[in-house]
Chain A
Amino acid sequence: MAPYIARRLLLTVPLLIVVSFVTFLLIRLSPMDPAEVVLQAQETPQITEELLAQTREELGMNDPFLLQYANWLMSCFRLDFGESYVSGQPVWSLIGPAFANTLSLTLISSVFIIVLSTLLGVVSALREGSLADKSTRGLSFFLTAIPSYGLASVLIWLLAVKLDWLPTSGMDSAASFVLPVAVIAVNYVGIYFRTVRSSVLSNKNEEYVLYARASGLSERAVTMRILRNSLQVAVAIFGMSIPIILGSTVVIENVFAWPGLGRLSVKAILSRDFPIIQAYVLIVAVAFVVINTVSDIVNAAINPKLRSERA
């Protein structure tokens, strides 16, 4: 196990460097001159060549490229992502709390997704062909076709406005979590429950099941063995899904006015607030790489077969 972990970690470090480099490069590729954007955002009345040159010098844009990157990277380690072009506030003071809010939304949704899709997947696989199985699968086909923002709007209209059971937006109480979590969960349960189901089904046809039955094990014991083997696939997929959900709560956050990363980043994109966009990309990409690494290690711990393969 230890060699596997070492190998996997060795792979992660260069990846993190590349990720940070690409993030840095991204902003340089922008067709707009950052100095000009800063001055426009600060509503400077008249942008002169002199002013531009001075701003460039302040932003360190005259340094050699790699030095700029190194300086930027070092300041990122100190959580110094610069200041927002628009409000002038430090980026971390905006993005830190937003990250925490998005993370709590993601983690709570993931718990629901894991529990619900495992439950539905196992039940519909064990009762394959039954009415429950067919209706769950039919429903999942329909639910995955609904755009999440559409579903969110309908739920807001029905539960928050017509019935007045839940808050429409914001993050004030535990009740605020209900609608966003429900919408995210519906979206992903429809996908992941089928993965669990297919994994249980393919295990049902394995020879060890035949052997277990032939040696007279009770049906209950056989089922337990099927579950143990098939849930490994589920663990793998859930591990990878958490960063995906982290990145794709953007739409949900905007519909529910959730004070998270997604809302912050869309606002930043619309106002071309590059330091926020850059910090957002870096933070989520690093979270993505780190969570992927952790889930690979967890998977290898559960399933020895994976350890021998190339990391």
Chain B
Amino acid sequence: MSLWNQLSKDKWAVASMSVIGVILLAGVLAPWIAPNDPYAVQMRLRFASPSWEYWLGNDHLGRCILSRIIYGIRHSILWVLAALAASVLIGALIGFAAGYFRGRTDAVLMRICDVMLSFPGYVMMLAIVGILGPGLENILLAFIVMKWAWFARVIRTSVMQYAEMDYVRFAKAVGIRHRTILIRHMLPAALPDIAVIASGSICSMILQVSGLSFLSLGIQAPYAEWGMMLNEARAVMFSRPELMLAPGLAIVISVMAFNFLADSIQVALDPKLRTKSARRRTKEAENKAYEYVRG
């Protein structure tokens, strides 16, 4: 609970958590809070300006933009988070196995990771989508396939440093089962590190998934997704540039909120960063850069 206490003292963290909370809630409750049917085509309302019934106006098919933005949260954010959770889980299982048992297990698992990481992530995602065909589920699958190796690597490093701690050695020496040691002693210790790398990669994931949808490789019509909405708006960019505003802002606001939260989690979990506020962003920036470097 100390993480929670730390975060609640940081006003940026509270602000970003509130924004994220509202976004997630709106996504889950979309059918109840969306003012209109997001898929209802009304050609007489094409490009209608905002009105009391349609707060953000209507798109090229006369669909309610606000409702589409709200439904879009599901595809742009919620599913991305689910894919992230899946790849972190796989990465954690492999990382724990490699970092805790070491030896041959470690060598084999890490060579597999090396091979996975030697492929440029973005290109491999395109390749997988190319073979399985466009679609959000294929993009997310490609994400899980490409990302777990990166998480496994980072989690292994973190696990290794705790596996050598005296209390873990003691637990081993008195004959406690591996499974119990892993769950009771290693997991709580490694959890903060996992939280940091997971939250640090949310932003790039949201941007990449919406980018692929923008290229019409992601979710297919009529479903709403922010990247796809931007692409639809781009078709009429010269006559109605204001249509790009709503989905564009939705992406920017959510990515910034996740960015701030990731930052705050990092600071809250690393006392060294806390004491020297000048060094606050240091480690986070490094991790993020490596994350990007690995694609």
Kindly state the separation between the CA atoms of A270 and B135 in the bound complex, as whole angstroms. Answer: 11
Query: In this assembly, does B274 line the interface, its C-beta being within 8 Å of a C-beta of chain A?
Result: no
Report chain B residues within 8 Å CB of A19: 115, 118-119
Report chain A residues within 8 Å CB of B120: 243-244, 246-247, 284-285, 288
Question: Is A145 within 8 A of B252, CB to CB?
Answer: yes
Question: Is A250 within 8 A of B126, CB to CB?
Answer: yes
**Size of chain A's interface in residues, with CB distance under 8 A?**
64
Report chain A residues within 8 Å CB of B217: 266, 269-270
Question: Is A244 within 8 A of B292, CB to CB?
Answer: yes
Query: In this assembly, does B288 line the interface, its C-beta being within 8 Å of a C-beta of chain A?
Result: yes
Question: Is A277 within 8 A of B282, CB to CB?
Answer: no
Q: What string of 1s and 0s marks CB contacts (under 8 Å) between A3-42 and chain B?
A: 0000000000001001100110011011100000000000
A residues 251-297 in Cβ contact with B at 8 Å: 251, 254-255, 265-266, 268-270, 272, 274, 277, 280-281, 284-285, 288-289, 292
Kindly state the separation between the CA atoms of A261 and B255 in the bound complex, as whole angstroms. Answer: 28
Q: Which residue of A lies closest to B260 (CB)?
A: A141
Question: Is B227 within 8 A of A147, CB to CB?
Answer: yes
Kindly state the separation between the CA atoms of A201 and B283 in the bound complex, as whole angstroms. Answer: 11
CB distance from A11 to the nearest CB of B (A): 9
Question: Is B131 within 8 A of A198, CB to CB?
Answer: no
Question: Is B127 within 8 A of A153, CB to CB?
Answer: no
Question: Is B278 within 8 A of A280, CB to CB?
Answer: no
Residue of B122, B211, B285 near A194 (CB, 8 A) is B285
Interface stretch of the complex, out of B98-106, B166-174, B236-244: B236-244
Question: Is B214 within 8 A of A277, CB to CB?
Answer: no
Contacts known (A191-B289, A201-B278); A144 close to B259, Cβ less than 8 A:
yes
CB distance from A221 to the nearest CB of B (A): 23
Residue of B234, B238, B252, B282 near A201 (CB, 8 A) is B282
B residues 242-295 in Cβ contact with A at 8 Å: 244, 248, 251-252, 255-256, 259-260, 278-279, 281-283, 285-286, 288-290, 292-295
Query: In this assembly, does B123 line the interface, its C-beta being within 8 Å of a C-beta of chain A?
Result: yes
Query: In this assembly, does B130 line the interface, its C-beta being within 8 Å of a C-beta of chain A?
Result: yes
Report chain A residues within 8 Å CB of B132: 30-31
Interface stretch of the complex, out of A90-98, A154-162, A170-178: A154-162
Query: In this assembly, does A85 line the interface, its C-beta being within 8 Å of a C-beta of chain B?
Result: no
Interface residues on B, range: 35 or more
Query: In this assembly, does A77 line the interface, its C-beta being within 8 Å of a C-beta of chain B?
Result: no
Report chain B residues within 8 Å CB of A146: 248, 251-252
Query: In this assembly, does A148 line the interface, its C-beta being within 8 Å of a C-beta of chain B?
Result: yes
CB distance from B25 to the nearest CB of A (A): 21
Residue of B248, B279, B282, B292 near A147 (CB, 8 A) is B248
Question: Is B130 within 8 A of A269, CB to CB?
Answer: yes
Q: Is the interface of A mostly helix, strand, loop or mixed?
A: helix
Report chain A residues within 8 Å CB of B288: 191, 194
Query: In this assembly, does B158 line the interface, its C-beta being within 8 Å of a C-beta of chain A?
Result: no
Query: In this assembly, does B3 line the interface, its C-beta being within 8 Å of a C-beta of chain A?
Result: no
Report chain B residues within 8 Å CB of A27: 131
Contacts known (A195-B285, A241-B293, A244-B293); A145 close to B203, Cβ less than 8 A:
yes
Contacts known (A147-B227, A266-B217, A268-B130); A248 close to B122, Cβ less than 8 A:
yes
Residue of A30, A153, A191, A241 near B230 (CB, 8 A) is A153
Contacts known (A29-B131, A145-B259); A128 close to B278, Cβ less than 8 A:
yes
Kindly state the separation between the CA atoms of A22 and B118 in the bound complex, as whole angstroms. Answer: 11
Which B residues fall within an 8 A CB radius of A? 114-115, 118-124, 126-134, 203, 207, 210-211, 214-217, 227, 230-231, 234, 237-238, 241, 244, 248, 251-252, 255-256, 259-260, 278-279, 281-283, 285-286, 288-290, 292-295
Which A residues fall within an 8 A CB radius of B? 15, 18-19, 22-23, 26-27, 29-31, 128-129, 137, 141-142, 144-150, 153-154, 156-157, 161, 188, 191-192, 194-195, 197-199, 201-202, 237, 240-241, 243-244, 246-248, 250-251, 254-255, 265-266, 268-270, 272, 274, 277, 280-281, 284-285, 288-289, 292
Q: Would you mind naming 6 contact pairs between A and B with Cβ atoms under 8 Å apart?
A: A15-B115, A19-B119, A145-B251, A153-B244, A194-B285, A244-B292
